[in-house]
Amino acid sequence: MRYSILVLALLIASPLFSQSKKDLLGQVEALKKETEQLRSEIELLKHPKEIELADTLRKVSYGLGTLVATNLRMQGGDSLNLEALTDGIKDVYLSKALKMEQEEALAIVQVYMQEVADKKKLKLIEEGAAFLAENKTLPGVTTTDSGLQYKVISAGTGKSPLPTDNVTVHYTGKLIDGSVFDSSVARNEPVTFDVNGVIPGWTEALQLMHEGDKWTLYIPYPLAYGERGAGDQIPPYSTLIFEVELIKIN
């Protein structure tokens, strides 16, 4: 009797054990597939696929993206969360329910961008002031009453221009971090302009120079492009460095 019960128990348990093992193997296979999928997604995040600009619409779309991003970075938005930014664009384009109303979004963005602009302004002013404070202590550097600083590289023997004169010069312009934003020397094309038709720092310096002089000018932002800056390469409130050669008075 006991033997019959044992055999019956084994016969009942065997299909259950077989079924359990089959389910387990299926789950293992499913986990393997999920793991491979996750690995692929992680690899894509590490090495995102380059978008191919195969047609005009893609080129226009990519071009607009670069223009928007460049403008945002120039305004100090380089710390924005890229994922949230692209989600906002997608929600509008796909007509999804927005996570905040337009009025709320506008108010938040305006406050944030103003705070960023103020911080950036203060940082540039402080960096420029610190640079000029140290620079004026260096040998050969002269500081005028306006705050302009200059250093004579080589001296000429010609006459000095008047504010109403027209001059021809060679120059190289840099930010205080050393990055070059413009250079007539690199173009191998001297420039001609009126002495009183340029930034105040140049107008002052040129009247102190003589034909043949080559100076380095260190120009505080109020004597340069001030609060406006100039183009994409000269931010507002930038202290500038110019190497200037006064070739001739025309």
Q: Are the C-beta atoms of residues 194 and 206 closer than 8 Å to each other?
A: no
As to burial, measured by CB atoms within 10 angstroms (0-12 exposed, 13-18 middle, 19+ buried), residue 112 is: middle
Residue 34 lies in a domain: no
241 assigned to active site: no
Please identify which of the residues 218, 225, 237, 241 carries the catalytic annotation: 225
Residue 163 lies in a domain: yes
Residue 98 lies in a domain: yes
Residue 24 lies in a domain: no
Residue 125 lies in a domain: yes
Question: Diameter of the chain by CA atoms?
Answer: 129
Domains contained in the chain, number: 1
150 assigned to active site: no
Structure tokens at 147: 């705050």
> In this predicted model, which residue has the larger pLDDT, 117 or 77?
117
As to burial, measured by CB atoms within 10 angstroms (0-12 exposed, 13-18 middle, 19+ buried), residue 103 is: exposed
Residue 93 lies in a domain: yes
pLDDT of residue 119: 87
Please determine, for residue 29, whether its predicted confidence score (pLDDT) is greater than 50. Answer: yes
Domain range for residue 197? Answer: 83-250
Residue 89 lies in a domain: yes
Convert the pLDDT of each residue in 121-141 to its tens digit: 899 999 999 999 999 999 999
Please identify which of the residues 150, 221, 237, 242 carries the catalytic annotation: 242
**Side-chain half-sphere of 55: how many Cα atoms within 13 Å?**
1
> In this predicted model, which residue has the larger pLDDT, 165 or 66?
165
pLDDT of residue 231: 81
182 assigned to active site: yes
In angstroms, the CA 63 to CA 113 distance is 23
Residue 13 lies in a domain: no
User: What band does 232 get if pLDDT is binned at 50, 70 and 90?
Assistant: confident
242 assigned to active site: yes
CATH number where 236 lies: 3.10.50.40
Please identify which of the residues 181, 193, 194, 249 carries the catalytic annotation: 181
pLDDT of residue 48: 60
Please determine, for residue 13, whether its predicted confidence score (pLDDT) is greater than 60. Answer: no
